[in-house]
Structure 1
């Protein structure tokens, strides 16, 4: 997973423009940067990997269903000629 980029200077300047003290603006920007750095975000490669794994899993489930239904068909229909 990748972290987002964060411009602390721009964030601090915006807080100062809104009336926050420079110390508060800098501390808030630093805290936000640290918190956002810990966030785990999915990127395109992560989504492609997930899609691949889900495709494989769905294919395996589909094949398993065919095998089970074929076995049931043989057991019920072919195993019982009168039925």
Structure 2
């Protein structure tokens, strides 16, 4: 996963410059830093996940087709008529 650097001090300073009190800016910056500290998926991460899911789905389709063909093979002749 991609990690994004976040300068909490600079963020708080910009909030103060915009009219927040020091306490408000500090609380907002800390809350934002905590919320964004979770691991976020990048576009590359999502593409890799999509590829893995596509490959796995393809495998499941092949397996299901094999099971269906095997079941058809062992049906008695004329069972579908």
| TM more than 0.5 | yes
Structure 1 spans left out of the alignment, 5+ residues: none
Matched with 2:68 is 69
Deviations 1:22-70 (A, max 9, x none): 3432343244224322x12111332132122212211111111211121
Give the alignment's TM-score, normalised by structure 2: 0.67
Q: Confirm or deny: 8 A CA contact 1:3 1:40 kept in the other structure.
A: yes
RMSD: 2.5
Matched with 2:26 is 26
Q: Which moved more, 1:15-24 or 1:52-61?
A: 15-24
Aligned residues: 79
Structure 2 spans left out of the alignment, 5+ residues: none
